[in-house]
């Protein structure tokens, strides 16, 4: 009986972990897609400079809308070793992973899902983001002056410039509440 309980609780926790992995993956898919769709639309409609202010004001509400009812179960956000918005500063549990990924190119670190448990038992999922061509407009090392000025105005402490194509940019993260 005892063994049965141990076994079934092991099994149960694995199922739970699998659920978390699937849900966290879906949530980050939706966040990515929704952020990029809104950003691209804004860029093609009003240009990159306007899109910088748009990001500044709307990232959170876009993300919340994409997360819908999952907000009850999960916290989520973006973080990086080089941040633009200080609100995205890494939490302690992200720091070691950021060090591992810093400066790496896409494919250099084998992509297995990064999932771990915090001391309080809550699970965390980290999904690496890499620099695509369109990201360079606002995160590259050759950002045009008007975009650069806008970024400086909104984020005087910005550190998120100078990235290269395919370089690790940061994580989207999901954490159980
Ligand atoms: C129009 C300019 C623009 C483009 C294009 C852009 N970003 Fe950003 N990015 C920003 C701004 C502005 C912020 C700060 C948003 C905020 O206030 O939360 C930001 C923040 C981030 C963050 C959160 C961490 C931090 O530094 O605060 C990540 C990660 C990120 N961008 C990745 C990307 C990736 C990957 C791409 C390309 C797929 C991309 N960005 C394209 C302007 C841009």
Rounded to an integer, what distance in angstroms lies between the CA atom of residue 132 and that of residue 139? 10
CB of 81 closer than 8 Å to CB of 88? no
Ligand 1 atom nearest to CA at 78: 23
Rounded to an integer, what distance in angstroms lies between the CA atom of residue 123 and that of residue 177? 9
Residue among 84, 62, 57 at smallest CA distance from 140: 84
Rounded to an integer, what distance in angstroms lies between the CA atom of residue 41 and that of residue 161? 22
Ligand 1 atom nearest to CA at 43: 1
**Measured CA distances, 16 to 20, 71, 76, 172 (Å):** 6, 18, 19, 21
List the pLDDT tens digit at each of the 177 positions of the chain.
Answer: 555 555 555 555 666 888 999 999 999 999 999 999 999 999 999 999 999 999 999 999 999 999 999 999 999 999 999 999 999 999 999 999 999 999 999 999 987 889 999 999 999 999 999 999 999 999 999 999 999 999 999 999 999 999 999 999 999 999 999
Those residues with Cβ within 8 angstroms of residue 13's Cβ, 6 or more apart along the chain or in another chain: none
Those residues with Cβ within 8 angstroms of residue 149's Cβ, 6 or more apart along the chain or in another chain: none
Which residues have C-beta atoms less than 6 Å from ligand 1? 39, 48, 51-52, 55-56, 59, 78, 80, 83-85, 88, 129, 131-132, 134-135, 137-139, 160, 169-170
Instruction: Look at ligand 1, atom 20, and give the residue with the nearest C-alpha.
Output: 84
What pLDDT score does 29 carry?
A: 96
What pLDDT score does 17 carry?
A: 81
Residue among 117, 125, 156, 95 at smallest CA distance from 13: 117
């Amino acid at each position: 009986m005892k063994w049965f309980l141990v076994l079934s609780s092991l099994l149960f926790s694995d199922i739970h972990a699998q659920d978390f992995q699937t849900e966290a993956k879906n949530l980050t898919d939706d966040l990515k897609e929704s952020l990029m769709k809104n950003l691209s639309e804004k860029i093609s409609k009003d240009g990159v400079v306007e899109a910088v202010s748009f990001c500044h004001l709307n990232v959170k509400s876009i993300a919340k809308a994409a997360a819908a009812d999952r907000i009850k179960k999960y916290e989520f956000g973006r973080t990086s070793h080089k941040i633009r918005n200080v609100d995205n500063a890494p939490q302690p549990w992200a720091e070691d992973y950021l060090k591992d990924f810093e400066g790496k190119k896409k494919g250099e670190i084998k992509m297995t899902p990064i999932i771990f448990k915090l001391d309080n038992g809550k699970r965390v999922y980290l999904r690496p983001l890499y620099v695509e061509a369109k990201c360079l407009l606002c995160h590259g090392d050759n950002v045009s002056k008007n975009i650069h000025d806008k970024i400086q105005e909104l984020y005087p402490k910005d550190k998120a410039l100078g990235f290269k194509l395919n370089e690790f940019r940061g994580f989207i993260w999901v954490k159980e509440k």
